[in-house]
Chain A
C-alpha cells in the first residue's frame, strides 16, 4: 500500500515548520553575510557607520600628587560635534604643574563643542591660553597638552610638549605627534651635518621640553588636514608616565577589543612594572568599531 505525504499528518506537522525554519535561517544567513561581504568589499570607503568606545585611567604612580589632568567631551554629543579628549601632564619638579594642567583641560572643556574644521583657530586659542599662563606663572610651572578631536571617520590632533597620541592600526602602534624636546633639535642638527645621532640620546638635557603650555608663544602642533580612521583602530592619548613604563613595541600585547579592557590592561601593565619613581600615568583609550546595524 502506498502512503502519500498528505496522509501523514504527524510527519507533516514536523517537516513543514522545520523546512520553513531552515529556509528562513538560510535567507537570514545569506542576507547578513552578503551585507558583511559588501561592507568588507566597500572596505575603507564606507563612511557612515563607525562608532567609538572610550575608557580612561588617571593614576598617581609613586609621586606625591596627581599633576595629570584629563577631559573627555560628552559621548552624547558625538554625532553632532564629534568627541574631544585631552590629557595634560603637569611638568614635574615645578611648583604649579598640576594647577596649570587643570587650567589647560578646563580651558579645552570651555572650548567644546569646537569646530572640527577650524583646527588653525583652535590651535590659536591654545597658544593664547599658553600666553595667559605665561603672564600668570612666569615659567614657574608648565604642562603638556595632547588632544584628539574625532568626528565622522576622521581625527584631528593637537600637541604641545611630550605627551603621546598613539594610533594602533593592524597591531602596529605609531606615535602620531613629534615630541617637542631638545633631543629633536639635536637630531636635526646632527642630521644636517651628515652625522649619526647617538649623542643626542645620551645628552643629559635631551628630554628637556622646548615647548609647553605656560611658555610664551609655544608652537602648537596641529593637523592641517585630518587623518582618516578605520574600523579596528585604537587611539591612545597619554602622559609619558604610560609610555615610559610600557614601550611602544610592547603596547600591542595589551590591546583588547574594548576600550575598557585595553585601559585596564595598560593600567595593570604599568603597575606591574613596580618602578620606584613611577610618574603619574594617565591615558584615554578609544577603540573604533564599525556599527553592524
Chain B
C-alpha cells in the first residue's frame, strides 16, 4: 500500500491551474501537470489526460506514457508516476521533481524504475512548490513524520514562512510505502 497525501493549493493566484490525475488500483498511477502562468492547456486536453489515467489500470507504463505524450507535448512540465510497494516508475519532463529519502539523505529519483522498500518516503512536486524549500528541510520533515499528511503539513508551514502561500499554485504528493498494510 502507498500512503499518500496530495496538495493542490491555488496559492495567491485567482485559480488552481496545475492538476493531478490519480488512478487508485493495485498500483497508484498519477499524472502531475505544472502550469506556470505563461503555460496554456485546454480543457479538452485535460479531460483526455484524465480519461487516460483513469483507464490505465491494465496499461503498461510505457504505453500510458506514449499515449499521453502527444497530448502533453506542448506542456513542458509534467510527470507520470506509477508506484506500488515494490517499485516506482517515473517519467519527468521539465520543472517537476521527484525525491526519495535513502540512508539519511534526499536523493532525486531518476526517470525509469526504482526499487522500493517498506517505509520508504517519496515526494513528487512542482518547481513552484520546491522553490521555497531545500533538500534538508524536505528530508527533516520526512524523517519525523508519522504520516504522509503530517509530512506535507510541515512542508506547507515552511513555504508559508517564506511567502504566506501567496504566490503560485502549490502542487505536491508525499508518499510512504507501507508494505505491511
Contact = CB atoms under 8 A, between A and B. Distances in A.
Interface in A140-181: 154, 167, 169, 172, 174, 176-178
A274 interface: no
Contact of B160 (A44, A197, A221, A223): A197
Interface in A217-234: 221-228
Contact of A227 (B9, B119, B139, B165): B139
Interface stretch (A68-76, A95-103, A106-114, A184-192): A184-192
A200 interface: yes
Contacts of A190: 165
Nearest to A178: B154
A48 interface: no
Given A184-B157, A198-B164, A174 B134 contact: yes
Contacts of B157: 178, 184, 187-188
Nearest to A223: B143
A200 B165 CA distance: 11
A201 interface: yes
B105 to A, nearest CB: 5
Contacts of A44: 105
Given A184-B157, A187-B160, A227 B140 contact: yes
B44 to A, nearest CB: 25
A225 B120 CA distance: 10
B104 A191 contact: no
B143 A224 contact: yes
B153 interface: yes
B160 A222 contact: no
A198 B167 CA distance: 12
Nearest to B156: A191
B108 interface: no
Contact of B164 (A201, A223, A224): A201
A4 interface: no
A174 B138 CA distance: 10
B interface majority secondary structure: mixed
A224 B121 CA distance: 11
A194 interface: yes
A291 interface: no
Most buried by A among B7, B16, B101, B140: B140
A176 B140 contact: yes
B67 interface: no
A164 to B, nearest CB: 12
Contact of A198 (B11, B105, B137, B166): B166
A3 interface: no
Contacts of B12: 196
B104 A222 contact: no
Interface in B148-166: 153-154, 156-157, 160, 164-166
A68 to B, nearest CB: 23
Contacts of A167: 136, 140
Contacts of A176: 136, 140
Contact of B103 (A194, A198, A224, A228): A228
29 contacts: A167-B140, A172-B134, A174-B134, A174-B136, A174-B140, A176-B136, A177-B140, A177-B144, A178-B154, A184-B153, A187-B160, A188-B153, A190-B165, A191-B9, A191-B165, A194-B16, A196-B12, A196-B164, A196-B165, A196-B166, A197-B160, A197-B165, A197-B166, A198-B166, A225-B104, A225-B143, A226-B143, A227-B140, A228-B105
